[in-house]
Structure 1
Amino acid sequence: MAKNSRRAAAFIIPVLISAALMGCSAPKQKNSSNKLNIVCTNFSEYDWTREIIGDTDSADITYLLESGIDIHNYQPNAEDIMTISNCDMFIYVGGESESWVDDVLSNKANKDMKVVKLLESAKDNVQLEEHKEGMEEEEEEHGHDEDEPEYDEHVWLSVRNAEIICDDICNKLCGLDSANADKYKANLSAYTAKLRDLDNDYKEMAENAKVKTLLFGDRFPFRYLVEDYGLDYYAAFKGCSAETEASFETIAKLAEKLDKLELDTVFIIENSSDAIAKSIISSSGNKNARIEKLNSLQSVTSDDIRKGASYLSLMNEDLETLKKVLD
């Protein structure tokens, strides 16, 4: 469970930091080719940084979650901590799932490290976690401050946020490597144009959609996307939920929504079981409803990248799925 993992991290991470620091008596220097060392926690950050750097060959980029592990379940090992501690630039989301980062950065070896925190870069657009009608009720985590806001971490699923964050990444890169600043800015300009085209395509899809509501038999990380384009949703769980089993009440409520709104599709996210979606359909009056997947870009592997996966390609795949379903 992700919440249990976060509680365990409070005890484990300090131990791993100590182990990492003991394993290197002096901070690492830049690699032998004198390239910048950049570390990213998730795929979108990694791909945006690749696009901005382009063909300058000025940096080595480490993608920590290249195995495809979900950000909500990832905990760094001692080697990961050492890699972060010595890098020139660290890019991370900054939500509750990455609460371990604070300890790592407070003990970093490179005191000149540039840091990009996605929730800070896109702070004007950050949404609170939302409990919608029909969602599974979750137990409060022991020790969690009820007055502490819970932010939705999935800011990368807003193409508009992507533009803002890319601008921040580029600014930090230019500060580290002024010799290539003009190239970074030119690459950013070209990539921003592609993001704006994608944003316009999503906007057109939503404006032309006959169906305006998504129903998920799964957790729902697409809050930013539906907010951007005026769509609505219902889901079994919140975006950062660790739950995998829905109650009878949740399934019944979502089945009722499926019928009332005359929907013919139940969505799930990548690498998820379709068991809840099937239960919703079988409990509804529409036994012929289909199940479709949307990719939240949380489980992209290094193998996927070698095969050509990019932020734009995956977001375009989601766009095509939505066009098909909502038309």
Structure 2
Amino acid sequence: MRGMWAADPHGLRVHGDDPRPFPRRAQVFRGLRPDCDLRPVRGMPGKQRPGRSRGSERGENGGDGIMRKRRTRNLRLSALAAVLILLGGLLASCGNGGKNVGYRPTVVATNFAVYDIVRSVAGDTADVEMLLPPETESHDYEITLADAAKIARADLFVCVGGESEDWVDDTLGAMPEKDRPTVLRAVEIASTVTESDDGILESETAAHGIHAPGEEEESEEADEHVWTSFGNIRLIARAAADALNRIDEWGASERADNMIRYSSQLNDLEREYADLFASTDKRLIAVADRFPFRYLAEEWGLEVVAAFSGCTSNVEASLATISALVDTVEKNSLPCVMKIELSDGRCAEAVARETGCEVLELQSGHNVTRAEFDAGVTLIGLMRRNLEVLRTALQ
């Protein structure tokens, strides 16, 4: 626990000399449970340090499938370790000649959200690269030897650090310690909440939450989509700037200017969100897809009915799930149903056909299309799109 937090009009929390922002607590996230006739239920789990999750081995292959995946991964990691040890020797023999004036640190970031936060702060003082190729589903990503080599060559490696990136520890562990980059994990920097199935129609709790007598229950996992909170974006940006300043002090002044400009952009957009939610009492949205927006929902008091949790590998909606979403849209006269980026949208389209509502897209920030990436889209730009989607949904 971080102790008591005082509120200010913009939703920041201040504790002593600690300037870290924390999402609003005045509004409690309310989800809907399918086994309770879709009635709202209260209670958002408290903050939780990240741990290993029941969902780390999620899937539909059963025990044999999981063991095969583990054996395949172990073989891949053995080969990876050998290559990285060789690469470490090559890097040591080359060196960089010291980090002097004009030196540009190299940063590798895993997904689009953390990549864009870092590049916004770094500006021209660092070379920032996104590991996840555009248009790739982040939960299906498997690291390659080429990607591992990029990480080994980097000065700073920025990752989410959640269950969808369980390859990170194995990859870093395969590197000689002296050759590992500085590592920032977003879930360790941000203010986090635990994963919750509140409002999720196809919950995995039933499949993974039953334990045999005497079996130890696995620790709960922090929800990894921390960048969907304004406060957490600020925390990640500040940590990235500090890490780069330790690596390259010559660029600190420019990064400070970038940080001021980035914070101003966040503040302006946050005020627009506040204006929207102050203008309407409506809070219910229907998401016929994964729901990686739990921090957004808590921050603004949204009520949510969603088909799947944010990190599930199963996105085949059952008839019962589609029926529940249709019922939610019709009973509450919702103007739209949501899907997320890079989704096939089949569940949302099925709901739209039954109800006549519109299908709109919420952008989680996991990744973007190649065209968007090449055009220089930003996380703030995606959040502004989401604001307009919510404006339609809550009208």
CA-to-aligned-CA distance 1:143-166 (integer Å, 9 cap, x gap):
997422122211111122101110
Cross-structure match for 1:291: 359
Could you tell me which of 293, 298, 306 is aligned with 1:222?
293
Contact 1:35 1:59 in 2 (8 A): yes
Secondary structure in 2 aligned to 1:128? Answer: coil
CA contact (8 A) 2:158 2:185 kept: yes
**Aligned partners of 1:145 and 1:155: how far apart in 2?**
28
Equivalent of residue 19 in structure 1, options 79, 83, 94: 83
8 Å Cα contact 2:88-2:175 kept in structure 1: no
Q: Who is 1:271 aligned against? A: 342
Tell me whether 1:116 sits opposite 2:187 in the alignment: no
Cα separation, partners in 2 of 1:10 and 1:107, compared to 1, 3 Å: closer
Q: Work out the CA distance in 1 between the residues paired with 2:284 and 2:195.
A: 18
Q: Offset of 1:173 from its aligned partner?
A: 0.8
| Alpha-carbon distance in 2 for matches of 1:230, 1:97 | 26
Matched with 1:128 is 194
- 1:137 — aligned with what? 203
Q: Given the superposition, is the C-alpha separation of residues 272 and 27 from structure 1 closer, same or farther in structure 2, using an over 3 Å criterion?
A: same
Look up the match of 1:307. Answer: 375
Q: Which residue of 2 aligns with 1:35?
A: 104
Query: Computing the radius of gyration over CA atoms, which structure comes out larger, 1 or 2?
Result: 2
Q: 1:31 to 1:262 in 2, by over 3 A?
A: farther
CA contact (8 A) 2:81 2:175 kept: no
**Cα distance change on mapping 1:141 and 1:49 into 2, 3 Å:** same
- Highest RCO, 1 vs 2 (Cα 8 Å, sep ≥ 6): 2
Deviations 1:36-86 (A, max 9, x none): 11110011222122221223xx32212111332122111110111111123
Cα gap change, 1:31 to 1:254, in 2 (>3 Å): farther
CA distance change for structure 1 residues 14 and 154 in 2, over 3 Å: closer, same or farther? farther
Distance 1:208-1:10 versus aligned 2 partners, 3 A rule: farther
Q: Which stretch of structure 1 is more off in the superposition, 257-266 or 77-86? A: 257-266
For 1:69, the equivalent position in structure 2 comes to: 136
Structure 1: gaps of 5 or more residues: none
- Equivalent residue, structure 1, for 2:47: none
One-letter code aligned to 2:271? N
**Structure 1 residues 150-165: aligned runs within 5 Å:** 150-165=221-236
Deviation at 1:172, TM superposition (A): 0.6
Q: Distance in 1 between matches of 2:258 and 2:158?
A: 19
Greater Cα offset, 7-16 or 238-247? 7-16
Instruction: Provide the C-alpha distance between the structure 1 equivalents of 2:357 and 2:216, rounded to a whole number of angstroms.
Output: 41
Partner letter of residue 122 of structure 2?
A: I
Asked if the contact 1:84/1:108 (under 8 Å) is kept, the reply is: no
Q: CA–CA distance in 1 between the matches of 2:275 and 2:186?
A: 27
Summarize the Cα distance change of 1:68–1:9 in structure 2 as closer, same or farther, 3 Å threshold: farther
Change in CA separation of 1:10 and 1:127 when aligned onto 2, cut-off 3 Å: farther
TM (normalized to structure 1)?
A: 0.88
Task: Please say if residues 2 and 72 of structure 1, whose CA atoms lie closer than 8 Å, have aligned partners that are also in contact.
Answer: no
> 1:84-110: per-residue Cα shift (whole Å, max 9, x none)?
123110000000111111122223345
Distance (Å, rounded) in 2 between the aligned partners of 1:134 and 1:16: 37
1:321 corresponds to which residue? 389
Asked if 2 retains the 8 angstrom alpha-carbon contact of 1:84 and 1:90, the reply is yes
Letter in 2 for 1:216: V
Relative to the length of structure 2, the TM-score reads 0.74
Label 1:264 to 1:25 Cα distance change in 2 as closer, same or farther (>3 A): same
Query: Structure 1's 240 and 112: CA in aligned 2 closer, same or farther, altered over 3 A?
Result: closer
Aligned to 2:267: 196
1:101 aligns with 2:168: yes
Deviation at 1:258, TM superposition (A): 1.9
- How far apart are residue 264 of structure 1 and its match? 2.2
Does residue 312 of structure 2 align to residue 241 of structure 1? Answer: yes
Amino acid at match of 2:198: K
* 8 Å CA contact retained: 2:80, 2:174: no
Shift in CA distance, 226/2, structure 1 to aligned 2, threshold 3 Å: same
SS at match of 1:280: helix
Q: 2:332 aligns with which of 239, 246, 261?
A: 261
1:297 shift after superposition? 1.7
Which one-letter code corresponds to 1:240 in the other structure? Answer: C
Q: Percent identity?
A: 30
Q: 1:227 to 1:31 in 2, by over 3 A?
A: farther
